[in-house]
Structure 1
Amino acid sequence: MFGKFNLFLGLFLFTLLLTTPVVVQSQETPLIKAVDSTLAIQPKTIPVINIIQEMENINKELKQIENKIEPSKKVIEIDSLIPVHAELIKDRQSYVQNFIKANPNRQKVDNQINKWNGYRDYLNGWESTINVYEQRNAILAEEILPKEQVWELTYQNAIEENVPPELLTNIKSVLDEVLRVSKKIKNENFYFLRLESKINNQNLIIEEVIEELIALKNSDVYKLFYLRHPPLWKTSFKTEKTDSDKKAGVESVSENIRNIFNFAKSSENDIYLFFIVIGLVIAGIIYIRKGYLKYEIKEPYDDLQKAKDLIVNKTVWGIMFISFLCARFFFINTPQLFDDILVFLILVCAMPLVQTYMDKRFKNIIYFVIFLFILDTAKTYFWFSSPNYRIYLLIEATLVAATVLYFTYPYLKTRELYQKQFGGFLIRLTPTIYLLLIISIVSNILGYTNLTDLTIKICTQSSELTIVFYAIWKMTKGITLGAIHSNFSRRKHFDPIKKRSIEIKILQILRVSVSIFWAFYFLKMIDLLRPFSEFINSILTEPYKVGSITFTLGVILTFIAILVISFLITSFISFLLDGKDVDFKIIKLPKGIPAAISLVIRYFILAFGIVLALSSLGIDLSKFNLMAGALGLGIGFGLQNIISNFISGIILVFERPILPGDTVEVNNLLGTVNKIGVRSSRISTYDGAEVVVPNNNLISNDLINWTLSDTIKRIEIVVGTTYESDPNKIIKVLTEVANEHKDVLKTPPARALFTDFGESALNFKVLFWVNFVNGLQAKSDISVAIYNRFKELDIEIPFPQRVVHFPQEPKDNQKADNPGIFPEKNESN
């Protein structure tokens, strides 16, 4: 509770300190701009005495500007390729018209949409490149405009002052050169605008084609219960291809391969970046693997052991799987053949990863899934006539049914044997798969082929999707558990319960994330992602008004998401750097430095996250002025202690007089520092109490840190012997007893000293050094050993003795001589 209060209090103050300068700056910026604009419209004439030097400077600047505005090879290449691409778009546009007339299935329509999206992305890349040069030229134009005005005024001033003709000619030539470069910049901008206009015209054509394809896809012809073909028994299998069918035939293999090479050539920079990313992935997996091999697993549960077996024994397959998976997500709108090859390779690499966790009976099912994937994908590259296509679908559905029957028969017995975890859930879906296959076969026979396509797609592609995401889940689980295991194992002391708690929480987050992505791709597979996204978007963008405040659910969710992401990032950084004995192999950092780095990074991330979250709500930060003033007044009167503790906490983190894990003594309080917070720190005493100490007390009071620079402590034992003892012998005995103890350090050596002559004993002192943790036990053991050794050697340890002498009864003559000292007793008769 106190830790969260400290965190949010410090974060609020830290954010306020960061946002206040922003507010001040936002208020002052218009004035600064006004001053700058005033100066910009009032150029100054160059004094005649400085003209020669300024002419040299301007000539160098003009050469640099002219070099920058030279058209790059990339722009020249784009200019030369625009007509070629325009011809390609025109040819493909006519191809689409024939494609639509050929009555293609829904899958081929999706492929065409993806292909035209690729054309659009290709042109958008050209447009982005040209925009970069346009922005650069705009900056150069802004820079040269004041120079143009300055040299015009300078030329006029030179004429008025009757400067020498040679100098006037040079000034005029400089002015002409400035005007020439300025005109060249404008011409280059016009050139870029013309290129951008040509690209935009092609983009308009592409958008029209995509909209036409989407309209075709959403037409009644592709509705699920649209009778697209006559029943199978009324279909003639002798129908030949029409001309439109032939023109709308699929691309040949050679054409697909050529498209892949063209894509690779146009995406050269992306390929280089992809290999850099893969290199980092490989380095991370190898690091996790070394952690598994280096640190022994001592936990009783088998999740970590299975994760270790996967990462250690399937390292190459895991690297290949992640590499192909990254390529699938890294390259967008790739040629269809390239995309299908990637999916095939992903399934092949996923096979050994998921087989590790599968029962022996189901290990071979992935081979059938890969075969069905090839069978389903082949429909993309062959144009079937309507009857042949329906026979192909019928064969595919039959093969799927046979595969399911082979691995689940008998169903009831199989369900009883496998009732646990994810496998049991999949087996329970078997009746659903049978139902979908029956629907597929019946709808195909009756002519409802749209419904047939969807049901077969669900049966085949959902299994592929499940295998891929199951492999993703197992790989991320193995990597995550390995990272946590390595982080905790390199610490000398850690809490296994805390480690397990962190593992469970992170695995829950990963499991939910993988499930969400699976659902995302499943909706995309069955063509429901677009309507679902539009439905969600309509809900999130619906405006609501409460009083004078207007908001949407999307804005609120964005606000929450930014804060949650910021908190998760800071938690991850704290997990990596806030250990008591964090050890970096590459960089050796002093003790406490990682915690200081973690504190600074976490506060900056959280502060930036709060500012970004407030900005997403549309809140004007200038409204915090009043709050800042009120807070300043509150600090002056009532928050002095809180601010003092906050600043003291920062001092403790950076000055490092104490660190988590140190044994300290302050205000008669002895214990171990557990955490240094923003406002207070927690110290665990040896009595089992956890004391919350304000940071200001640790800074302003005398503080004893027993373990700051080292962990050794000097122990002192005082002992006395009788005067009959030999001091030389006693010193020797005490030294031997101290050195014989296992915890006593050899350097510095133990020493025995004769201190003084006591009233009833010779006093000695034993001094020895031990580790602070072993101090109390060592003192007890050595004291007992000294007693035993003295007893063996008949050396007596004296104890204080007091002899009280009472006077004896005086005789009668003494009483007579001193009647006042011994009075007579009163006797009564």
Structure 2
Amino acid sequence: RQVSNTLKLLAKNPSMPELRDLESEWEVHESDLKAANDRLTALDSQRAAEQTSLDEQSKTWSATAAQEPAEIPTELQQSIAEVRASILELQKKEFDARGRILLAQTQVARAQTRVKSMLATVRRTRESKVERVFVRDGLPFWRFSLKDFLSGNWVGNLMVSLESDKDDLFVFAAANAEHFFLHCLSFLLVLAGLRWARVKIKAWSEQEPVLSRTLSILSAPVSTALLLTVFLTPLFYTRAPVLVVVGLAALALVPATMVLRRLLEPALYPLLNALIVLFCCDQMRQLSVSQAHFSRVLFLLEMAGTLVFLTWMRSRSRVSGHHRLRAACYLLSAIFSVALLGNLLGYLELSYWLGDGAIVSAYMGVFLYASLEVTSGLILFTLRVPPLSLLASVRENRHRFRSSVLHLVRFTAVLLWLVLTLDSMAILAPVSDFLSSILQGHIVLGALNFTLGGLFSALLVLWLTGRISRLSQYVLELDVFPRFQMERGVDYTLSTLMRYLILMIGVLFGLAAMGVDTTKFTIVAGALGVGIGFGLQNIVNNFVSGIILLFERPIKVGDLIQVGEQTGLLKQVGLRASVMRTTEGAEIIVPNGQLLSTQVTNWTLSDPLRRLHLDIGVAYGNKPRDVIALLLEAASQCGDVLPEPKPNVLFVGLGESSLDFRVQVWTKRSTTYPVLQSDLLLRLYEALEKANIEIPFPHRTITVDNWPEQEKSAPAGSATETP
């Protein structure tokens, strides 16, 4: 029946999409028969092994029975005879089973021959239609009269065609009742999930306006669930009849337009309405494809109406300022004009090829765009619920994750739209062959010989490896390592080594994708050795020093270090150099070799404690013990001063003008010690001022000899104070 239906369809001059679906159907049959043949072959091999085992057992028992009867007891002889009879019976069963398997293999082989023949016929028909695209294969439209159009019982033929499609629908429904039930169940589950998600999003959208777009999508849960369920159709059905395809297409287009009406501006609503009307006309034409004249008239009316609508949209977009929409209208107008003109002139294949291809492309574009918007909202929702919301890496970079995933989804949607468009126009295989021939072109650089496709594959592997390495390092640092008790710096070492390991594996896979021969690495290693001997000593030294810093960890990321006259926080230990950020905000690049070969002061190697000391002098006449008690009390009240080790005040000397004291305190804030120093000075000064303790100026005593005669009346030896 399938063969006869295919031959009838081929005799009716089917369209490109119908031939594509027919070819896919026979490819499924070919795949099923191949799988069946593989199963029969495996079963035959198993039966053959069992038959061989039975033959060996039969020989053994026959040799046993062939011995002298006097040497074997009567009871044992009877048992041997029974065993031989059982083996003989099993051998007959195995022989019959192998005969049935051989018969089934013969039938499968005949079916494979028929399927290959029909598949070759369909492919030849499709290729011939592609070759005859620019050939006039029909009469001009004005050659037909009304009598030719009305001749024949086209209404009756249409009803017969619909009856045949209805019978196919009943057969399909009976064979896929379980799949249909699962499809409906998936719709109900998706609908329930969307309703639950709508409640959650509605509560969150009041705090984050960015969720309003997602809420508008989930406000139509039935349409969104239908859209997602139709997207899952290939998981439930392999090949559906015409009426099922039409119904699924309607279920895809209607909810897609309803979802898009909530997202697009009102100026684009007529475009969605026109797509629905165009879909109805197109499906009517597909159902009447057996009636050539009627289908041709419908196609002409469809193209003419679309051109009128696009002209109106162009004028409207000129006023509203939608330049991209206007450009798309110009492109579609050109395609539909060529299709209309070709049909009028008799170039039927060309007109159907362009018209149907543009219509299918528009359908796929609307469906995928609506699916993309729904997917965007679901991704945003998924990032806000467990288990992803429990990850710190997701909570702190939710927008970055969403942006990265959406870029991937958009790229996939555009690629899928392009593939479906080319496939609907029956040029996917030629385009794929053309691109394959380009990608298989060889590039020779000295001893290296690789293809352009291998180069693209290597670049893709390296890009993916870089993204995966950064993601793994980020997840380890925020979600994995905080759950374990580790010494400071160990987490950075492990995450950095993990990143280098992933990058190294990516480089090896990239080279393998390029098809680089690993034996060539001996030449590279020799050249590298010569380069190291002459000019790469510093680079290798810094690289090895970086590895030593990661494993030995004399300095760790986050340490406050001093290199020469520069002091700052160590921010990063790289392969060649490390980055240090000073208190002034400058970032200094320090080679790793310098960190190992020169003296480096690490203020936070074993602990973050740091001691500060301030020298203070007070005027003579104050009691040192009272001053010490006052300074200790003021220092202890400073917030960042640690109680243990205790603050200490030392009486360090008798100065020329003051009693000198040294205040010593400890703090954990090594990186902000200048702030603590300022705060401590303020508290000490306020305490001394409150106690009326003077901080003296330096005093000098000057003795003047040989004073001039005219000034001898002045007291001799007077002294002055100068600061």
| Corresponding residue for residue 428 of structure 1 | 327
Alpha-carbon offset, residue 599 of structure 1: 4.0
Indicate the SS of the match to 2:367: helix
Structure 1 residue 359 displacement after superposition: 1.6
Preserved CA contact (<8 Å) 2:457 2:513: no
CA shift, 1:574, in A, is 0.6
State which of 537, 560, 563 in structure 1 corresponds to 2:459.
563
Look up the match of 2:587: 690
* Residue 256 to residue 732, structure 1, CA distance change in 2 (3 Å): farther
For residues 581-637 of structure 1, the C-alpha deviation after alignment (integer angstroms, 9 at most, x for no partner) is: 634699668676765565455444443443344334444323434544665687789
Q: Name the SS for the 1:780 alignment partner.
A: helix
Return closer, same or farther for 1:136/1:736 CA change in 2, 3 Å cut-off: farther
Indicate yes or no: 2:118 matched with 1:209: yes
**What is the aligned partner in structure 1 of residue 651 from structure 2?**
756
Give the deviation of 1:116 after TM superposition: 1.5
CA contact (8 A) 2:454 2:515 kept: no
Q: Aligned-pair distance for 1:324?
A: 4.2
Q: How far apart in 1 are the matches of 2:339 and 2:512?
A: 51
Q: Which residue of 2 aligns with 1:92?
A: 2
What RMSD in Å do the two structures reach over aligned CA positions? 5.9
| Aligned positions of 1:104-503 closer than 5 A | 104-126=14-36, 199=108, 201-219=110-128, 223=133, 225-228=135-138, 231=141, 232-233=144-145, 235-240=148-153, 252-253=165-166, 255-256=168-169, 258-259=171-172, 262=175, 308-311=211-214, 313-314=216-217, 320=225, 323-324=228-229, 327=232, 333-335=238-240, 343-351=249-257, 354-363=260-269, 365-381=271-287, 384-397=290-303, 400-401=306-307, 403-404=309-310, 408=313, 411-419=314-322, 424-444=323-343, 447-471=346-370, 474=373
Per-residue displacement from partner, 1:178-211 (whole Å, max 9, x unpaired)? xxx9xx9999999999877765553343232122
Q: TM-score if structure 2 supplies the norm length?
A: 0.70
322 and 107 in structure 1: CA distance in 2 versus 1, 3 angstrom threshold: closer
Q: Which residue of 2 aligns with 1:528?
A: 427
Structure 1 residues 356 and 646 mapped into 2: Cα distance closer, same or farther (>3 Å)? farther
Contact between 1:731 and 1:752, CA under 8 Å: does it hold in 2?
no
Distance 1:191 1:589 in 2: 67
- Amino acid corresponding to residue 559 of structure 1 in structure 2: L
Instruction: Tell me the amino acid that sits aligned with residue 685 of structure 1.
Output: T
> SS of 1:227's equivalent?
coil
Distance in 2 (CA, whole Å) between partners of 1:740 and 1:725 is 23
What's the CA shift for 1:709? 8.1
Q: Counterparts of 1:632 and 1:785 in 2: how far apart (Å)?
A: 63
| Match of residue 792, structure 1, among 682, 690, 702 | 690
Match of 1:538 among 437, 440, 464: 437
Aligned to 2:13: 103
Judged with a 3 Å threshold, the aligned counterparts in structure 2 of structure 1 residues 350 and 592 are, in CA distance, closer, same or farther, namely farther
Preserved contact between residue 790 and residue 796 of structure 1 (Cα < 8 Å): yes
- How many angstroms apart in 2 are the aligned matches of 1:752 and 1:242? 105
Q: In the alignment, what sits opposite 2:572?
A: 675
SS at match of 1:754: strand
Q: 2:152 is paired with a residue of what secondary structure?
A: coil
Count residues in correspondence.
664
Query: Residue deviations 1:766-792, cap 9 Å, x none?
Result: 525353443212211320332233123
Distance 2:45 2:533 in 1: 49
Q: 1:648 to 1:479 in 2, by over 3 A?
A: farther
1-structure distance, mates of 2:358, 2:235: 27
How has the CA–CA distance of structure 1 residues 188 and 382 changed in structure 2, closer, same or farther, with 3 Å as cutoff? same
Shift of 1:542: 5.2
The residue that corresponds to 1:777 in the other structure is 675
Aligned equivalents of 1:389, 1:342: Cα separation in 2: 22
Gaps of 5+ in 1: 1-90, 153-175, 298-304, 810-829
The equivalent of 1:518 in structure 2 is 417
Query: For the Cα contact (< 8 Å) 2:558–2:571, is it kept in 1?
Result: yes
Give me the whole-angstrom Cα distance separating, in 1, the residues matched to 2:394 and 2:699.
Answer: 52
Q: Is the Cα–Cα contact under 8 Å of residues 394 and 444 in structure 1 kept in the other structure?
A: yes
Aligned-partner SS, 2:695:
coil
Partner of residue 610 from structure 1, selected from 501, 507, 532: 507
Is 2:470 the partner of 1:574? yes
In the aligned structure 2, how far is the partner of 1:627 from the partner of 1:192?
58
Q: Which 10-residue stretch deviates more, 531-540 or 208-217?
A: 531-540
Query: Cα 1:491–1:205, aligned 2, differ >3 Å: closer, same or farther?
Result: closer
Per-residue deviation at 1:389?
Answer: 2.0
Instruction: State the SS of the aligned residue for 1:559.
Output: helix
**Does structure 2 conserve the Cα–Cα contact (< 8 Å) formed by 1:734 and 1:766?**
no
2:650–2:663 contact (8 Å) kept in structure 1: yes
1:395 and 1:702 map into 2 onto residues whose CA distance is 87
In the alignment, what sits opposite 1:719?
616
Which one-letter code corresponds to 2:278 in the other structure? L
Q: How far apart are residue 530 of structure 1 and its match? A: 2.2
d(CA) in 2 for partners of 1:321 and 1:735? 76
Per the alignment, do residues 214 and 693 of structure 1 end up closer, same or farther by CA in structure 2, a change over 3 Å counting? same
Per-residue deviation, 1:683: 1.7
1:727/1:403 CA distance change after superposition, 3 Å: farther
Is the Cα–Cα contact under 8 Å of residues 577 and 594 in structure 1 kept in the other structure? no
Structure 2: stretches of 5+ with no match in the other structure: 61-83, 85-89, 708-723
Q: Percent identity of the aligned residues?
A: 21
Give 3-state SS (helix, strand or coil) of 1:678's partner. Answer: coil
Distance 1:295 1:664 in 2: 47
Relative to the length of structure 1, the TM-score reads 0.63
**CA distance in structure 1 between the partners assigned to 2:175 and 2:355 by the alignment:** 33
In the superposition, relative to structure 1, how do residues 526 and 736 fare at CA in structure 2: closer, same or farther (>3 Å)? farther
Name the CA distance, whole Å, in 1 between partners of 2:206 and 2:557.
24
Higher relative contact order (CA 8 A, sep 6+): 1
Q: Closer, same or farther in 2 for the Cα pair 1:129/1:774, shift >3 Å?
A: farther
CA deviation vs aligned residue, 1:294-319 (integer Å, no higher than 9, x gap)? 9987xxxxxxx65x433455356898
Per-residue CA deviations over 1:66-125 (Å, capped at 9, x if unaligned) read xxxxxxxxxxxxxxxxxxxxxxxxx31233223222333443333322221222333355
User: 2-side partners of 1:687 and 1:203: how far apart?
Assistant: 79
Q: Which digits, 9 at most, give the CA deviation of each residue in 1:490-517, with x for residues without a partner?
A: 6899999xx99x9999988876665444
Question: 1:715, 1:770 within 8 Å by CA — same for their partners in 2?
Answer: no
Give the Cα separation in 2 of the matches to 1:237 and 1:664.
Answer: 95
Write the distance in 2 (CA, Å) between the matches of 1:400 and 1:255. Answer: 32
- Conservation of the 8 A alpha-carbon contact between 1:684 and 1:691: yes
* 1:531 partner letter: P
Taking structure 1 as reference, are residues 451 and 102 closer, same or farther at Cα in structure 2, changes over 3 Å only? same
Change (3 A) 1:185 1:92: same
Is residue 649–residue 677 contact of structure 1 (8 Å, CA) maintained in 2? Answer: yes
Q: CA deviation at 1:331?
A: 7.1
Query: Counterparts of 1:803 and 1:195 in 2: how far apart (Å)?
Result: 126
Equivalent residues in 2 for 1:43-58, closer than 5 Å:
none
Contact 1:563–1:610 (Cα < 8 Å) also in 2: no
Residue equivalent to 1:620? 517
Change (3 A) 1:344 1:202: same
Deviations 1:192-240 (A, max 9, x none): 9987776555334323212211222233696355333663425232313
